[in-house]
Amino acid sequence: MAGTSELIKGLVGGMFTRPVRVPILHTPDEYGMEYENLTFPSLDGTPLEAWWIPAPGSDKLIVANHPLPMSRYGFPSHLDPWKQMVPGGNDFEVNFLPEYKNLHDAGYNILTYDARNHGQSGTANGGIFTWGQFESRDVAGSLKYVKSRPDLAAMKLGLLSRCMGGNATYVAMTRHPELFTDVRCMVNPQPVSLRVMAGQALANMGMADQVDALDREFKLITSLTFDQVSPIEYAKNCHVPTFIIQVRDDVLTRSEDVQQIFDAIPAGDKKLFWIEDSTRRWDGYTYFPEHPEQEIEWFDKHMN
């Protein structure tokens, strides 16, 4: 059991609670987009590094929130050591810049930033990652920044909140609903409950019976349990039109968990799209860069 205990500690102390920072390998100018480097504060003052990608003449703005353990650029999982971090054939690059290019060409301004303890943003809370709890302050900070700029405050506002960024958005909607009154809609690729992801990760390692042990270790580091960071209860406070996209047979989650998150959303206008014939989680992040039609249609429907 000592070996199992060490594996549990390593799993929780690594990917589940202390994200490994990744380099930013691409910038918007490589894709023909002018941009500005910005810094703005999270709700608790943590400095967040961002890109402002303007679309001159447009009054539509998308704020993009990224997944764990990625950055505003994406994730270099085609390179060592990052290619070793996620099992299930996810050893190819995730690059969000083509997605931003698609949206920019469709007439959208974009603000995208690195969450705390990710990319180039500041370290906070001892470097601990909490699956949306502390990170919700970053989502709130991005919206307060938008409201603080006269040139942005009047824009039609949409959110692109992926995975952890989506979980953090649901928490922020619950804790700071006043910041979302002007949000027209959200696109939410790949939301996930940590208990389910942990169970899948352990099952892939032949340790399916160790979920409770992993949960205990998670609480010793974060003071939170898996269930306390689940997005399902927080999604009940999402009142904006929401489009969820998910790899149905994703090796790192289960479709019924994503269905529960979707069902919890009370918004009358919502959509769930399943990516079929894949088990790779990363396909959920590279789908829209390669197939932008549904994403642009959703934003156009609610922001024009």
CATH code, 111: 3.40.50.1820
Banded model confidence at residue 2, pLDDT cuts 50, 70, 90: very low
Q: Which domain holds residue 133?
A: 26-193+230-303
The Cα 189–Cα 272 span in angstroms is 10
Tell me what pLDDT residue 11 has.
83
Whether residue 169 is contained in a domain is answered as yes
> What tens digit of pLDDT does each residue of 99-157 get?
999 999 999 999 999 999 999 999 999 999 999 999 999 999 999 999 999 999 999 99
Tell me what pLDDT residue 1 has.
42
Tell me the mean pLDDT in the region 267-288.
97
The Cα 59–Cα 91 span in angstroms is 38
Whether residue 209 is contained in a domain is answered as no
The Cα 241–Cα 278 span in angstroms is 27
Whether residue 263 is contained in a domain is answered as yes
Whether residue 8 is contained in a domain is answered as no
Judge whether residue 3 has pLDDT over 80.
Answer: no
Tell me the mean pLDDT in the region 67-76.
96
Whether residue 56 is contained in a domain is answered as yes
Percentage of residues of the chain with pLDDT beyond 90: 89
Would you say 237 and 177 are in contact if contact means Cβ atoms under 8 Å apart?
yes
Q: How many domains does the chain have?
A: 1
Whether residue 2 is contained in a domain is answered as no
- Note the pTM of the prediction, 2 decimals: 0.97
Q: What six digits make up the tokens of 278?
A: 């894949």
> What tens digit of pLDDT does each residue of 160-189 get?
999 999 999 999 999 999 999 999 999 999
Whether residue 290 is contained in a domain is answered as yes
Tell me the mean pLDDT in the region 14-27.
90
Whether residue 13 is contained in a domain is answered as no
Q: Which segment of 12-16, 47-51, 263-267 scores lowest on mean pLDDT?
A: 12-16
Provide the H-helix boundaries in 179-244.
Answer: 194-204, 211-222, 231-235
